[in-house]
Amino acid sequence: MKPDLRSQTHGFESVGFCRLRVVPAVVAALVVGGLLRIAYSPTAASEGVGPGADNIVQNPGFEEGWKDHAPMGWTFETRVRERGTVSRERERKHSGRYAVKLEPNAKNAGAIHPLAIGQGFPADRFRGQRMYISGWLAAKGQAVANLGLYAIRSDGHITAGKSLTASSTGRDPVFHEGFLDVPSAAESAFLLILRCAAQGTAGAVYFDDVTVLPWQGQAPAEPIPSPAADADGSPGGSPSHGQAKRKGQPLEAHINVSANDEIRRIPRTLYGTNIEWIYDGYGLWDRARGRLVPEVVRLTRELKTSPLRFPGGVFSDHYHWRDGLGPAGLRKTTAHFADGPSSRHSFGTDQALAFADAVGGELLITVNAGTGTAAEAAAWVRYVNAPESGASGGPRVRYWEVGNELYGKGDNKASRKVAMTPGQYAKRFLEFSRAMRQVDGRIKIGGIGGASSGRYVATTDPTWNRVVLSQAGAEMDFLAVHNAYYPMPIWPAERDVRRIYTAMLAAPVLVRRNLELLDAQIGSLVPKGGRQPALAVTEWGPYFHAVPDSPLVDHVKTLGSALYVAGVLKVFIECPRMEIANSFKLLDNAFMGWIGKRDGQHLAKAPYYALQMYTAHFGSVLIRSSTRCPTYDSPAMGIMEGVDRVPYLDVVAGKSDDGKTLYVMAINKHFDRPIRATIELAGFEPARRGVAWTLTGSAVDANTGTQLPRVPGLRWARQASLESNGRFHDGGPEEVTLSWARIDDVRKRFDYSFGPLSVTSLEIRAAR
């Protein structure tokens, strides 16, 4: 009969720093919380835990009695008792009656051995195995909760460790999980130490339902209720925000769709992108053959993206459009911006228009309001929208933007050269827009701005929107902002890749809040009687770091980035004032393009497929839907503030113009668990069969295998990957897939399971 290690697990106590004491059947070891003495029997060391073992943590829910200032089975280190208190907690629990609460004090400041309780286990039977660790953590004030599992050798040195942290959570505890690969060599893994610790000098941290066991390739089963559970045998607490307590079984959700409740027509202009003039349009133009690159044209046509913003970002306010006209061999070579590199103007206005025509799109042109003039901008309108060049019924180029990020002084000479005060820009916008409308009154012209919120700072001058909208807003057709570049973590302060993606997938909530703030500002600041500008996000997308030595610079291409894209597009669709969005960007020679290269061949990246889910597999009319599902609390990170109650399942619904096809787009952000949803359709009688299009992959950092370019003198950092089961370095077309499957037995109420880390569009035809 396999022994139960829970009965052979012993507490530990501090016996001094850098002292090692060995006695029969007693081993002392140095670990993070101080020098620990851990006693165990030879039987426990030799037999350990085999396949299918249960949780080896004694009293994992902190329900059993109290002994020596700590819950039974746990040791409160003597050395650290002056650094705070340990107590039972009834409120911030996950299940049962109690959690454990640690309250640090001023003596915990910078402590090498912080306030902690813990347990120890003989490591013999765990060597070479992957150990699963999880727990429900909460924190308030400045305190940080730390749940750690460490492998140590006989001289007390740590050889491997896994740490789960939580800071500034909401009231309810948040589920955290991870893995520790125990070294196989005996000298490298003598003991395992489990520790619940508090960092900081004020506030409190909370732990509940801690699990440690050998990983069996599947999630642990639901824990057995503790003896202190409610009288009926069920746990006394409920999962945080409705979450199931462990992996294994699908999460549950409920989706209601009201087909007759139409909210708005979805502008196709929400699905745009950016193209740029430099370096032959970053590969759009084949200069040797004097033609567009066929493979890029094909991929862009299949993406169905429009409008195409040109001539591109920071380059716009240094671009003089006439430089891109005339015979190719006679065109100028100019700097991209002040003191920048140079390019020949082989990809100019005519080439950009030809590309838009070839892919079935249109241009959005950003005129040079930094180093250019209003007369130059008006002449550009005249050139592209002359009667003989336009399509019948409208101008060839409808959308025009006056300048790019002129509100930011930045840290480079190019930005500083063109930066303006809000008053200067308002005056300049009016000058430009009036000159341009005099040429063609049919065009739509946008000004630029942005609203700061939380950690996100939009403009150098906080009065920008107030001044610009009050002075010039009534003559704007749209306000262009750049408020959806996430996650921007601070490396190396944030090194946990899973944690970074967890926060990134919550960022669409922050985008929504910022759009709501902008909407309110437009409504209150723009003088009545003039235009009420729409909103445009003319640059947005997944963004980690822009420096080659960052281990995250190339993570724009991952499945996690694709799920972020899908979530942001949902926000854009549901924002009533949103009219235009341009992802950044279609193609480049570095890392930002959503089309990249692998072995010299152009290839779509994961975010490309997320955009394609909407352009090819979603409706044109937004209809009302609601979703009930589990949620999680996201940590603050980089420019992202913490977000409470982030839904694991995001859903948006639409239908076709003729009303005969209904679409349910669902984004499952859970890394490991499917979500089984009951879907109820009102006002729509479905045919029995439908189609499910699904974008998914092998891990959150999975990618299609595109490669960073080799540039003489430039060295890219080795990219970070998930600590457990990471796939970043195994990229290939099979790692991220967009596929379809038939779904049967569709009814007005039916169930569907959305896989982990997936974007799914259910296409449901109406019954005849």
Residues 6+ apart with CB under 8 A from 335: 318, 341, 342
Residues 6+ apart with CB under 8 A from 558: 542, 606, 700, 701, 702, 703, 728
Contact 656, 649 (CB under 8 A): no
Contact 174, 138 (CB under 8 A): yes
What is the band of 409 on the pLDDT scale with cuts at 50, 70, 90? low
Using CA atoms, how far residue 393 sits from 18, 73, 376, 390, 396, in Å, is 83, 79, 25, 8, 9
Q: Is the pLDDT of residue 141 over 80?
A: yes
Q: Residue 217: what pLDDT? A: 63
User: What sections of 265-314 are H helices per DSSP?
Assistant: 278-283, 294-303
Residue 428 three-state SS: helix
Average pLDDT over residues 116-131: 89
Q: Is the pLDDT of residue 224 over 80?
A: no
Q: Residue 26: what pLDDT? A: 28
315, 320, 323, 325 alpha-carbon torsion, rounded to 10°: 100
DSSP E strand boundaries for 168-299: 174-181, 191-199, 204-214, 251-265, 272-274, 285-286, 291-292
Give me the DSSP letters along 6-65: GGG-B-EEE--TT---EETTEEEEEETTEEEEEE--HHHHHH---TT-----SSTTS-S-
Contact 101, 87 (CB under 8 A): yes
Contact 507, 635 (CB under 8 A): no
* Closest to 583 in 3D by CA, of 391, 281, 266, 307: 307
Residue 200 DSSP label:
S
In a 13 Å sphere around the CA of 670, the CA atoms on its Cβ side amount to 30
pLDDT in tens, 472-506: 999 999 999 999 999 999 887 788 999 999 999 99
Measured in degrees and rounded to the nearest 5, phi and psi for residue 477 equal -85, -30
Q: Is the pLDDT of residue 520 over 80?
A: yes
**Counting Cβ atoms within 10 Å, is residue 741 exposed (0-12), middle (13-18) or buried (19+)?**
exposed
**Counting Cβ atoms within 10 Å, is residue 233 exposed (0-12), middle (13-18) or buried (19+)?**
exposed
Q: Is the pLDDT of residue 247 over 80?
A: no
What is the band of 243 on the pLDDT scale with cuts at 50, 70, 90? very low
CA 521/CA 575 separation, integer angstroms: 14
CA angle, corner 155, sides to 152 and 159, nearest 5? 30
Q: Residue 527: what pLDDT? A: 93
Q: Residue 388: what pLDDT? A: 58
Contact 693, 722 (CB under 8 A): no
Question: Hey, what are 173's tokens?
Answer: 């505890």
Q: Is 405 left (phi over 0), alpha (psi -120 to 50) or beta?
A: left
Task: Spell out a b/e string for 189-223, using b for 16 or more CB atoms within 10 Å of the CB, else e.
Answer: bbbbbbbbbbbbbebbbbbbbbbbbbbeeebbeeb
The more confidently predicted of residues 311 and 247 is 311
Q: Residue 220: what pLDDT? A: 52
The more confidently predicted of residues 371 and 36 is 371
Q: Is the pLDDT of residue 162 over 80?
A: yes
pLDDT in tens, 176-210: 888 888 988 877 778 889 999 998 889 999 999 99
Give me the DSSP letters along 214-237: E--SSPPPPPPPPTTS-TTSS-SS
Contact 182, 128 (CB under 8 A): yes
Question: Hey, what are 393's tokens?
Answer: 């019924």
25, 29, 31, 35 alpha-carbon torsion, rounded to 10°: 100
Q: Residue 161: what pLDDT? A: 87
Omega within 30 of 0 (cis) for the link into 173: no
Q: Residue 5: what pLDDT? A: 29
Q: Residue 67: what pLDDT? A: 79
CA 124/CA 482 separation, integer angstroms: 55
* Closest to 575 in 3D by CA, of 646, 507, 626, 518: 518
What is the band of 127 on the pLDDT scale with cuts at 50, 70, 90? confident
What is the band of 418 on the pLDDT scale with cuts at 50, 70, 90? very high
CA 370/CA 368 separation, integer angstroms: 6
Percent of the chain with pLDDT over 70: 87
Element (H, E) at 128: none
Average pLDDT over residues 138-156: 87
* Closest to 426 in 3D by CA, of 467, 391, 384, 368: 467
Measured in degrees and rounded to the nearest 5, phi and psi for residue 81 equal -65, -25
Q: Is the pLDDT of residue 14 over 50?
A: no
Question: Hey, what are 711's tokens?
Answer: 């540039």
pLDDT in tens, 691-733: 999 999 999 999 999 999 988 888 999 999 998 889 999 999 8
Contact 432, 442 (CB under 8 A): no
Q: Residue 170: what pLDDT? A: 65
CA angle, corner 52, sides to 49 and 55, nearest 5? 65
Average pLDDT over residues 69-89: 90
Q: Residue 28: what pLDDT? A: 28
Question: Hey, what are 356's tokens?
Answer: 């838009």
Give me the DSSP letters along 493-561: T---HHHHHHHHTTHHHHHHHHHHHHHHHHHHHSPTTS---EEEEEEEEEE---STT-TTTTGGGSHHH
Question: Hey, what are 652's tokens?
Answer: 């948006």
What is the band of 417 on the pLDDT scale with cuts at 50, 70, 90? confident
Question: Hey, what are 571's tokens?
Answer: 């926000």
CA 20/CA 695 separation, integer angstroms: 54
In a 13 Å sphere around the CA of 119, the CA atoms on its Cβ side amount to 24
Q: Is the dihedral of CA 37, 41, 47, 52 positive or negative?
A: negative
Q: Residue 111: what pLDDT? A: 67
Q: Residue 45: what pLDDT? A: 28
The more confidently predicted of residues 586 and 155 is 586
Percent of the chain with pLDDT over 90: 66
Tokens 């109820």, located at residue: 680
CA angle, corner 68, sides to 62 and 70, nearest 5? 25
Contact 255, 679 (CB under 8 A): yes
